[in-house]
Structure 1
């Protein structure tokens, strides 16, 4: 078992244990937000036939070569075609077919003229200017060619992509199964928000924060509730969680106090400890283990510490399990807008918010930085990475930051 390892080593060790979960088929109606498990090719051209983009007349452009305002060309209307129906007659010299928007182009026609650009009397139309062959015709395969890859494995299914899949006749789509993540809170002091607050107790924010984050990522959180600081109770609940989920996360009980018994519970169930403690602040008291090819991650019970280690270490694992491309949190440089007056003997991550103004990144702290503070997490989209041995930070200096949460998507 390794202990007190750098963040990057912890990330690498856990990534080596991680892979996408199983595949399944889902209908298009429930596909948005899911991750494709296979490349998707179109089996048809899109559109599947030449069609009209407007209401007008289909004809041969050569019939209009001599047309002008004083010498219009007169042509005969031989048919009318609505969208959804096929033409029955071929356009020949001297004839036109009336077509509606989306209607197939009749054989023999090579151009469309707008309704408003001709004068009609009975079954005759007059044209007043020459037309160019090919104008105002949407060709078969103009959008997609048969056999073309329209989405690759690992692509998130967005509403436009779902619409495109429907347009090529796809009804069901192969996706990665939703990763099930069991979340277990430990501690005699922790109670559910539905309960009345009693002396010495605190509400369970970690359970709800982690569940919400997992849902936002596209995973399926499995709430395992709160367990007291009793090894036997934690062992029982861990065993249940491993049966239900692909990844298990606990909060609390991972430090070195008399009641920090989660590591002992991990060992009791036969889990192999990968590492214990990370050389960073906050979030140092973290433990990771494996059991039957499943990871168990023990996070600190302090909300800020749990938040930071989850974002930096667990989120990349979940993304891979969901079938997304491996994406570590992106790093940027930014100009600090305020000061941080403490020295950092240990590597430290500060909750902050980045804004980009005129192509320059500016960053400011979101509030107090102690382990138990929740408020500074709300506006946080970045973590300032302060190297060990750093003195106080001053406004105007350039700092390195890791983008987290929704902010990370802006810098990928």
Structure 2
């Protein structure tokens, strides 16, 4: 077992445990939002399927309207109209125009359009007070070309990408199934919300914070309840957990006599590493119980959320083969000081905003038991080992995607 790792070393080992490939399923478009594509997606059509107009106006031959101006309008005979979905069947000849509406195909013979605002209709004629131009004609295939791949395996299906898949003509999409992630809380002091809170007890906030984080990262959370600080109780729950792609435990991974998760995994599984040089979340543990990867998160609410975001989220992204990174780093100016820690990388909670540039301020109390900092903060402020940051200094920040 390796111990006392750097953040980079720990992340590398966590990602190495994301083995194998998830099964796939085919879903109708209406059910595919937030899923991850399992295959490249080519367009089945050209879009537009022929030259069309980007504006309402009149289509004509550009040569017929070159001299049009406010003081010298050009007069053309209107021979028809072309609404979207009902193309004009004829051809535009010299001295003629067709009324066109946004999205309508450009009639044969026409090569320019004048905006309706620059015209005046007079019976079967139209007066043009500006030259017609080809710039408002969208050429065939301007957006999509048949056979070209626009969405790729591993792409997250956002609202825009879902619309793009529909525009390409796909009624159903093949996606990876969501990884099933077991969530298990430990501790005699933990009780479910709604139950009477005993002296020294604490409500099980970790299970629901992690449930939200797992969903947001593309997984399917499986709540396994909580177990008391007894090894046999933990063994029983683990034996009945069912098929999982990842098991998250919160609490029980430190050095105390009642930290049963670490004890059981050391005797019955294979511990990959324990302890990372970071704050909060130093007692993080990665293990494998048979074929099941186990990420042992600390029990403090902030530590649990931060370590999942930094390690569990990348694990799920790797398992899903996602093309986007699990998180991004930015630079911002600190409006409040942030204190580091000796020999550890520190993740403080901050509020990131744009005030003529990116700035970040502390959420206040930075204790790992203050869950409010994760509820109302929207970024992690990253401090290197032994590094403090003063007001007006630049600092690295990681936006928390689940609150932005």
TM-score by length of 1: 0.83
State whether residues 91 and 108 of structure 1, in contact with CA within 8 Å, keep that contact through their aligned partners in structure 2: yes
Q: Which residue of 2 aligns with 1:239?
A: 239
- Using a 3 Å threshold, how does the CA distance of structure 1 residues 72 and 359 change in structure 2: closer, same or farther? closer
- Using a 3 Å threshold, how does the CA distance of structure 1 residues 141 and 3 change in structure 2: closer, same or farther? same
Q: Does 1:164 align with 2:161?
A: no
Q: Which residue of 2 aligns with 1:75?
A: 77
- Using a 3 Å threshold, how does the CA distance of structure 1 residues 81 and 387 change in structure 2: closer, same or farther? closer
CA deviation map 1:322-361 (0-9, x unaligned): 33247365455665554567x8444152523154667766
Q: Which residue of 2 aligns with 1:266?
A: 265
Give the deviation of 1:191 after TM superposition: 0.5
Give the deviation of 1:13 after TM superposition: 1.0
- Using a 3 Å threshold, how does the CA distance of structure 1 residues 232 and 161 change in structure 2: closer, same or farther? same
Matching of residues 65-104 of structure 1 within 5 Å: 72-75=74-77, 77=79, 79-104=80-105
Q: Which residue of 2 aligns with 1:214?
A: 214
State whether residues 32 and 173 of structure 2, in contact with CA within 8 Å, keep that contact through their aligned partners in structure 1: yes
The number of aligned residues is 400
Q: Which residue of 1 aligns with 2:40?
A: 39
Once residues 173 and 360 of structure 1 are traced to their aligned partners in structure 2, the CA distance between those partners, rounded to angstroms, is 40
- Using a 3 Å threshold, how does the CA distance of structure 1 residues 72 and 132 change in structure 2: closer, same or farther? closer
Q: Which residue of 2 aligns with 1:15?
A: 15
Give the deviation of 1:127 after TM superposition: 3.6
Once residues 106 and 324 of structure 2 are traced to their aligned partners in structure 1, the CA distance between those partners, rounded to angstroms, is 47
Give the deviation of 1:293 after TM superposition: 4.0
CA deviation map 1:202-243 (0-9, x unaligned): 1111111111112222322111111112222211212333x2
Once residues 88 and 133 of structure 2 are traced to their aligned partners in structure 1, the CA distance between those partners, rounded to angstroms, is 19
Once residues 399 and 64 of structure 1 are traced to their aligned partners in structure 2, the CA distance between those partners, rounded to angstroms, is 58
State whether residues 82 and 103 of structure 1, in contact with CA within 8 Å, keep that contact through their aligned partners in structure 2: yes
State whether residues 344 and 385 of structure 2, in contact with CA within 8 Å, keep that contact through their aligned partners in structure 1: yes
- Using a 3 Å threshold, how does the CA distance of structure 1 residues 115 and 293 change in structure 2: closer, same or farther? same
Give the deviation of 1:190 after TM superposition: 0.6
Q: Which residue of 2 aligns with 1:365?
A: 362
- Using a 3 Å threshold, how does the CA distance of structure 1 residues 82 and 291 change in structure 2: closer, same or farther? same
Q: Does 1:110 align with 2:111?
A: yes
CA deviation map 1:148-183 (0-9, x unaligned): 332333332222222222222121223232222110
**Structure 1 residue matching 2:138: 3-state secondary structure:** coil
Q: Which residue of 1 aligns with 2:27?
A: 26
Once residues 113 and 336 of structure 1 are traced to their aligned partners in structure 2, the CA distance between those partners, rounded to angstroms, is 53
Once residues 329 and 37 of structure 2 are traced to their aligned partners in structure 1, the CA distance between those partners, rounded to angstroms, is 27
Once residues 333 and 98 of structure 2 are traced to their aligned partners in structure 1, the CA distance between those partners, rounded to angstroms, is 66
Structure 1, unpaired ranges of 5+: none
Give the deviation of 1:313 after TM superposition: 2.1
Q: Does 1:403 align with 2:398?
A: yes
Q: Which residue of 2 aligns with 1:252?
A: 251
Once residues 246 and 204 of structure 1 are traced to their aligned partners in structure 2, the CA distance between those partners, rounded to angstroms, is 23
Q: Which residue of 1 aligns with 2:134?
A: 134
CA deviation map 1:91-126 (0-9, x unaligned): 3334444444433222222233455614333xx315
Q: Which residue of 2 aligns with 1:144?
A: 144
Give the deviation of 1:408 after TM superposition: 10
Q: Which residue of 2 aligns with 1:119?
A: 121
- Using a 3 Å threshold, how does the CA distance of structure 1 residues 233 and 90 change in structure 2: closer, same or farther? same
Once residues 270 and 73 of structure 2 are traced to their aligned partners in structure 1, the CA distance between those partners, rounded to angstroms, is 91
Structure 2, unpaired ranges of 5+: none
Give the deviation of 1:142 after TM superposition: 2.0
**Structure 2 residue matching 1:403: 3-state secondary structure:** strand
Q: Does 1:287 align with 2:285?
A: yes
- Using a 3 Å threshold, how does the CA distance of structure 1 residues 328 and 191 change in structure 2: closer, same or farther? same
- Using a 3 Å threshold, how does the CA distance of structure 1 residues 28 and 85 change in structure 2: closer, same or farther? same
State whether residues 176 and 323 of structure 1, in contact with CA within 8 Å, keep that contact through their aligned partners in structure 2: no
State whether residues 25 and 175 of structure 1, in contact with CA within 8 Å, keep that contact through their aligned partners in structure 2: yes
- Using a 3 Å threshold, how does the CA distance of structure 1 residues 118 and 291 change in structure 2: closer, same or farther? same
Once residues 393 and 265 of structure 2 are traced to their aligned partners in structure 1, the CA distance between those partners, rounded to angstroms, is 42
Once residues 67 and 369 of structure 1 are traced to their aligned partners in structure 2, the CA distance between those partners, rounded to angstroms, is 69
Once residues 134 and 361 of structure 1 are traced to their aligned partners in structure 2, the CA distance between those partners, rounded to angstroms, is 42
Once residues 245 and 304 of structure 1 are traced to their aligned partners in structure 2, the CA distance between those partners, rounded to angstroms, is 25
Give the deviation of 1:291 after TM superposition: 3.5
State whether residues 216 and 402 of structure 2, in contact with CA within 8 Å, keep that contact through their aligned partners in structure 1: no
**Structure 2 residue matching 1:244: 3-state secondary structure:** coil
Q: Does 1:196 align with 2:196?
A: yes
- Using a 3 Å threshold, how does the CA distance of structure 1 residues 215 and 407 change in structure 2: closer, same or farther? closer
- Using a 3 Å threshold, how does the CA distance of structure 1 residues 101 and 354 change in structure 2: closer, same or farther? closer
**Structure 2 residue matching 1:406: 3-state secondary structure:** coil
